[in-house]
């Protein structure tokens, strides 16, 4: 054997072998220790897999391979999340049909993924655009609908008046313009489908405590759900219904000197005095314009006009004026607030602008002016002296309840999930609109509702999906009355496709059920989910919701889909995200072609801690590549030996140290330090003069298996190991061989290193102290002074502390 490293041949050889032998196809039925190793499936863009994907898959695959060698039956599927507005927009741009485009992209992705050498089970894969998949996405929708989790409602969508198309929120730039044409975006009200995720708000929040997820991910979800505890308070209005507000600080009600309504609050006009009708109407109109264009800002938050009518502060009995202003939103709480300018920054700014009085009701704060309000109540009648926020909040809420002015209440930021998309490239919503029966579900036997191939998939300009252009698609008969009816022409949000794909994988080859009950019981919930934190909220939250709903409807016997979730980091270049416009995109194919998948995987994982944002450095791959060549050279040496070489103690120590480090670091996802440990071991072997023991290379093959699956397999085979290295048990470190016989103990004076001694490991403190004091250099530094105190840390350090 030569030591030239032909990674192409080597990797092709093993990939073919794995495929022929079905090494990575798990016996889902017979598996004894199921381990579902899931990673977020990619969106097959036209650019191909990027470095970030490769990084994530390398890490997740290393994890899966490690668990496999630890004795688990690891199921590691992959698929394609191929519907969506990105494909559609790209297709529009290049003038090709998304169906052809996606087919090409998927093929390319598949090849790239194959070349990475991950242990994907390709016999169970999904493509969300395949009718065999989206048939069940439609089933899911119908099931949720029948279960009471889907409803229709009117809601505003973003609309570009120039492109004549509905936009996704993220296609609207911060200044309210369209990301594609730059026109000012407006809104349109359309009737759409919603999924009742708020049915599970409390559970989605409470369950988080028990989930083994990356802390940051849980935190993002908590914030998104946004639970606020407070009270609903009614402010009476003479001759009219009272005005209801939500406040988290009912204890500050004595400081409420005015009220603010969202400009689009239902009662704004009703509460407007005749004299100012015109002014208020104008203000409301302007505010609407600001809201739609996203141009609400610091200036507009102090703008407002008095409605000319007063509300009564229920506890003081005093009339206070009412204003509409941008800084109160109609969509949160009741869309109205009691303003407490002495204790709220926004209310304070507004009060300054409009010369409204401030009443301080919480004292005991060091800083004057508006503050959060922690202290004791003042100016609050019989409540003076109570500590705020608690127990004042509780006491005043009780008083309000007693007097019939309020009730304790909790609000959330979480909203129901709007899933209608007025676009083409998505899963058709299986609903039929009948003039007599109303909205009726497509019968399950008629699924899938196929997405038709339409030549002209450009946006229609009416606010409807391009599917509304295809009568053959939408003309149908009502399943209930048989009369003429029209299909829903909207498609569903891609997050619906991905909200259940993990349920599908084990049953991907079944066309009779979305997910087989027995397989599901055996393999789910997912053991380990690896993914980017950019999906921390939406995808993960939607998946949790779907799981909860299906559990409630009796389809699942668990209510959380992912037992363990770990977020991985990102790869950036020069501190910036890779993007075409920056011209800093690294194409992984070139690296793999030149250095091989093993070297590339090794390099990506060696960059730094897997959960962090990491910097791609162009030349960095040379190190891992060299390392692989050095390992192969050692292998040549071992093979050249005719006789088995006994393993010297120092090499055994180095080997077991390496095992220990890799074994500890790998499951903690400290891939970078695990790889460093292997590099150190190889360095020791290279420094060693004399024959290299076979045991060294055997161990390396095993430890390298999760990182460089092809190389590991090659080494294992050449050493005569039985196929496959990936089915071998993970090696154990022998702690008794690891400890050094001798250790260096550092001698410090006042914490500064002054000398060191080599002593047998485990030398006791007293001996160390004596040896240290006897050292000539130390005596020189001591200049006859006696140490005041002496600290001895066995095997490490002696610190002599001089007086003064």
- With CB under 7 A as the contact rule, the residue among 746, 757, 775, 782 that binds RNA is 746
Shortest separation between residue 606's beta carbon and RNA, angstroms = 7
Cα separation values, 627 from 602, 677, 678, 804, Å:
10, 12, 9, 52
| From 331-339, 437-445, 472-480, 734-742, span contacting RNA (CB under 7 A) | 331-339
Q: Which residues ranging from 238 to 257 are in contact with RNA (CB under 7 A)?
A: 245-249
Between residues 78 and 245, which has the closer beta carbon with respect to RNA?
Answer: 245
| From 93-101, 194-202, 638-646, 671-679, span contacting RNA (CB under 7 A) | 671-679
Q: Which of 717, 705, 725 is nearest to 635 (CA)?
A: 717
The CA distance from 772 to 226, in Å, is 61
With H, G, I as helix, E, B as strand and everything else as coil, classify residue 167.
Answer: strand
- With CB under 7 A as the contact rule, the residue among 19, 353, 750, 779 that binds RNA is 750
Cβ within 8 Å of residue 219, ≥6 positions away: none
Shortest separation between residue 139's beta carbon and RNA, angstroms = 30
**564 touches RNA by CB under 7 A:** no
The CA distance from 717 to 715, in Å, is 5
Per-residue binding letters, 76-115, with RNA (x by CB under 7 A): ----------------------------------------
- Element (DSSP H or E) covering residue 387: strand 387-388
Shortest separation between residue 151's beta carbon and RNA, angstroms = 22
Q: Which residues ranging from 404 to 463 are in contact with RNA (CB under 7 A)?
A: 411, 413
- With CB under 7 A as the contact rule, the residue among 23, 629, 719, 738 that binds RNA is 629
Per-residue binding letters, 167-186, with RNA (x by CB under 7 A): --------------------
The CA distance from 202 to 547, in Å, is 15
Between residues 520 and 799, which has the closer beta carbon with respect to RNA?
Answer: 799
- With CB under 7 A as the contact rule, the residue among 149, 327, 425, 528 that binds RNA is 327
Between residues 298 and 512, which has the closer beta carbon with respect to RNA?
Answer: 298
The CA distance from 161 to 630, in Å, is 63
**672 touches RNA by CB under 7 A:** yes
The CA distance from 800 to 630, in Å, is 45
The CA distance from 448 to 497, in Å, is 14
Q: Are strands 73-75 and 34-39 parallel, antiparallel or unpaired?
A: parallel
- Joined tokens for residue 84: 């969506």
Cβ atoms of residues 565 and 217 within 8 Å: yes
Q: Which residues ranging from 341 to 400 are in contact with RNA (CB under 7 A)?
A: 344, 346
| From 193-201, 621-629, 720-728, 761-769, span contacting RNA (CB under 7 A) | 621-629
**786 touches RNA by CB under 7 A:** no
Between residues 102 and 654, which has the closer beta carbon with respect to RNA?
Answer: 654
- Joined tokens for residue 555: 């389809």
Cβ within 8 Å of residue 570, ≥6 positions away: 52, 532, 577, 613, 614
Q: Which of 326, 322, 341, 346 is nearest to 242 (CA)?
A: 322
Q: Which of 32, 42, 214, 202 is nearest to 116 (CA)?
A: 42
The CA distance from 399 to 458, in Å, is 60
Q: Supply the DSSP symbol for 642.
A: S
- With CB under 7 A as the contact rule, the residue among 23, 46, 199, 329 that binds RNA is 329
- With CB under 7 A as the contact rule, the residue among 146, 594, 626, 770 that binds RNA is 626
Shortest separation between residue 750's beta carbon and RNA, angstroms = 6
| Total of residues contacting RNA (CB under 7 A) | 84
- Joined tokens for residue 328: 């109160």
Shortest separation between residue 759's beta carbon and RNA, angstroms = 12
Between residues 76 and 251, which has the closer beta carbon with respect to RNA?
Answer: 251
Q: Which residues ranging from 572 to 601 are in contact with RNA (CB under 7 A)?
A: 575, 577
Between residues 103 and 208, which has the closer beta carbon with respect to RNA?
Answer: 208
- With CB under 7 A as the contact rule, the residue among 33, 594, 770, 796 that binds RNA is 796
Cβ atoms of residues 253 and 338 within 8 Å: yes
Q: Which residues ranging from 725 to 744 are in contact with RNA (CB under 7 A)?
A: 744
Between residues 102 and 599, which has the closer beta carbon with respect to RNA?
Answer: 599
Q: Which residues ranging from 252 to 281 are in contact with RNA (CB under 7 A)?
A: 262
Cα separation values, 49 from 11, 378, 567, 772, Å:
19, 63, 19, 60
- With CB under 7 A as the contact rule, the residue among 528, 627, 707, 716 that binds RNA is 627
Per-residue binding letters, 296-325, with RNA (x by CB under 7 A): xxx-xx------------------------
Q: Are strands 528-532 and 564-568 parallel, antiparallel or unpaired?
A: parallel
* Half-sphere exposure of residue 396: CA atoms within 13 angstroms, side-chain side: 32
Strand ordering across the sheet containing 165-167: 165-167, 150-160, 186-195, 417-418
| From 107-115, 276-284, 766-774, 792-800, span contacting RNA (CB under 7 A) | 792-800
Between residues 165 and 533, which has the closer beta carbon with respect to RNA?
Answer: 533
| From 8-16, 56-64, 216-224, 510-518, span contacting RNA (CB under 7 A) | 216-224
- With CB under 7 A as the contact rule, the residue among 751, 760, 764, 770 that binds RNA is 751
Q: Which of 160, 312, 300, 315 is nearest to 235 (CA)?
A: 312
DSSP 466-492: GGGG-HHHHEEE-TTT-SEEEE---EE
Shortest separation between residue 400's beta carbon and RNA, angstroms = 14
Between residues 326 and 488, which has the closer beta carbon with respect to RNA?
Answer: 326
| From 141-149, 157-165, 702-710, 745-753, span contacting RNA (CB under 7 A) | 745-753
- Joined tokens for residue 275: 């004299």
Between residues 27 and 612, which has the closer beta carbon with respect to RNA?
Answer: 612
Per-residue binding letters, 2-41, with RNA (x by CB under 7 A): ----------------------------------------
> Does residue 360 have a cis peptide bond before it, meaning omega lies within 30 degrees of 0?
no
The CA distance from 496 to 594, in Å, is 39
Q: Which residues ranging from 673 to 712 are in contact with RNA (CB under 7 A)?
A: 673, 675-676, 679-680, 683, 686
Q: Which of 219, 335, 234, 225 is nearest to 287 (CA)?
A: 335
Shortest separation between residue 503's beta carbon and RNA, angstroms = 26
The CA distance from 408 to 233, in Å, is 9
Between residues 446 and 741, which has the closer beta carbon with respect to RNA?
Answer: 741
Cβ atoms of residues 730 and 66 within 8 Å: yes
Q: Which of 34, 15, 219, 151 is nearest to 711 (CA)?
A: 15
- With CB under 7 A as the contact rule, the residue among 119, 380, 489, 797 that binds RNA is 797
E strands present in 400-473: 406-411, 417-418, 420-421, 427-428, 431-434, 438-441
Between residues 324 and 731, which has the closer beta carbon with respect to RNA?
Answer: 324
Q: Which residues ranging from 516 to 555 are in contact with RNA (CB under 7 A)?
A: 533-534, 537
Shortest separation between residue 303's beta carbon and RNA, angstroms = 8
| From 83-91, 149-157, 225-233, 634-642, span contacting RNA (CB under 7 A) | 225-233
Between residues 185 and 550, which has the closer beta carbon with respect to RNA?
Answer: 185
- With CB under 7 A as the contact rule, the residue among 22, 71, 148, 226 that binds RNA is 226
Between residues 211 and 220, which has the closer beta carbon with respect to RNA?
Answer: 220
- With CB under 7 A as the contact rule, the residue among 557, 612, 636, 741 that binds RNA is 612
The CA distance from 69 to 405, in Å, is 65
- Element (DSSP H or E) covering residue 104: helix 98-116
């Amino acid at each position: 054997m030569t030591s030239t490293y032909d990674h192409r041949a080597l990797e092709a050889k093993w990939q073919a072998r794995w495929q022929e032998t079905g090494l990575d196809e798990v016996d889902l039925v017979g598996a004894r220790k199921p381990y579902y190793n899931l990673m977020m499936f990619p969106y097959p863009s036209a650019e191909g897999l990027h470095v970030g994907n490769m990084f994530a898959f390398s890490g997740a695959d290393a994890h899966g391979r490690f668990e496999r060698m630890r004795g688990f039956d690891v199921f590691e599927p992959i698929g394609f999340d191929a519907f969506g507005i990105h494909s559609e927009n790209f297709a529009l741009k290049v003038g090709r049909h998304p169906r052809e485009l996606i087919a090409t992209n998927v093929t390319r992705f598949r090849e790239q993924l194959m070349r990475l050498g991950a242990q994907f089970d390709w016999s169970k894969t999904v493509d969300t655009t395949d009718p065999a998949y989206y048939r069940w996405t439609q089933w899911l929708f119908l099931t949720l609908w029948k279960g009471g989790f889907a409803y229709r409602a009117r809601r505003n969508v973003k609309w570009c008046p120039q492109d004549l198309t509905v936009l996704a929120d993220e296609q609207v730039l911060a200044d309210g313009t369209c990301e594609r044409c730059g026109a000012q975006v407006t809104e349109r009200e359309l009737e759409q489908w919603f999924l009742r995720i708020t049915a599970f708000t409390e559970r989605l929040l409470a369950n988080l405590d028990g989930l083994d997820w990356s802390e940051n991910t849980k935190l993002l979800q908590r914030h998104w759900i946004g639970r606020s505890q407070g009270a609903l308070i009614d402010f009476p209005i003479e001759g009219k219904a009272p005005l209801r507000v939500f406040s988290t600080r009912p204890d500050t009600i004595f400081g409420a000197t005015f009220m603010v309504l969202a400009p689009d609050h239902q009662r704004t006009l009703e509460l407007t005095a005749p004299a100012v009708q015109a002014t208020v109407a104008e203000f409301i109109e302007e505010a609407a314009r600001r809201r739609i264009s996203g141009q609400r800002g610091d200036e507009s938050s102090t703008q407002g006009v008095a409605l000319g009518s007063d509300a009564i502060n229920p506890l003081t009995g005093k009339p206070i004026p009412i204003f509409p202003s941008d800084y109160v939103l109609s969509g949160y709480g009741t869309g109205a607030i009691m303003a407490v300018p002495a204790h709220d920054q926004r209310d304070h700014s507004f009060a300054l602008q409009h010369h409204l009085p401030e009443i301080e009701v919480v004292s005991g704060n060091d800083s004057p002016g508006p503050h959060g309000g922690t202290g004791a109540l003042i100016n609050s009648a019989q409540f003076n002296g109570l500590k705020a926020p608690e127990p004042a909040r509780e006491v005043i809420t009780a008083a309000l309840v007693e007097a019939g002015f309020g009730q304790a209440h909790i609000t959330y930021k979480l909203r129901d999930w709007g899933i209608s998309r007025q676009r083409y490239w998505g899963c058709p919503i299986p609903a039929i609109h009948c003039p007599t029966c109303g909205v009726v579900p497509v019968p399950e036997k008629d699924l899938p509702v196929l997405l038709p191939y339409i030549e002209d998939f450009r946006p229609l300009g009416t606010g409807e999906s391009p599917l509304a252009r295809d009568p053959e698609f939408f003309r149908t008969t009502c399943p209930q009355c048989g009369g003429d009816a029209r299909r829903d022409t909207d498609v569903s949000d891609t997050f619906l496709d991905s909200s259940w794909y993990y349920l599908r994988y084990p049953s991907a080859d079944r066309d009779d059920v979305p997910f087989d009950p027995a397989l599901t019981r055996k393999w789910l919930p997912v053991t380990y989910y690896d993914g980017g934190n950019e999906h921390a909220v939406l995808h993960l939250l939607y998946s949790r919701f779907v799981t909860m709903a299906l559990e409630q409807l009796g389809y699942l016997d668990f209510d959380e889909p992912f037992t363990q979730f770990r977020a991985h980091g990102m790869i950036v270049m020069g501190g910036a995200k890779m993007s075409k416009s920056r011209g800093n995109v690294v194409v992984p194919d070139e690296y793999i072609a030149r250095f091989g998948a093993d070297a590339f995987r090794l390099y990506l994982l060696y960059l730094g801690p897997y959960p962090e944002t990491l910097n791609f450095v162009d030349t960095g791959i040379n190190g891992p590549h060299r390392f692989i060549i050095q390992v192969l050279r050692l292998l040549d040496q071992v093979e050249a030996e005719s006789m088995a070489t006994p393993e010297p103690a120092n090499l055994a120590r180095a080997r077991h140290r390496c095992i220990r480090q890799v074994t500890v670091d790998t499951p903690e996802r400290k891939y970078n330090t695990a790889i460093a440990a292997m590099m150190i071991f190889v360095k020791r072997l290279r420094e060693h003069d004399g024959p290299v023991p076979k045991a060294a290379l055997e161990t390396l093959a095993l430890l390298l298996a999760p990182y460089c699956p092809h190389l590991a397999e090659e080494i294992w085979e050449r050493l005569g190991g039985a196929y496959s290295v990936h089915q071998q048990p993970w090696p154990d470190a022998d702690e008794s061989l690891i400890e050094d016989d001798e250790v260096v103990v550092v001698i410090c004076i006042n914490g500064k290193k002054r000398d060191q001694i080599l002593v047998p490991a485990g030398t006791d403190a007293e001996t160390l102290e004596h040896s240290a004091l006897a050292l000539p250099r130390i005596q020189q530094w001591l200049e006859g002074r006696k140490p005041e105190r002496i600290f001895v840390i066995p095997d490490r350090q002696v610190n002599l502390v001089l007086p003064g």
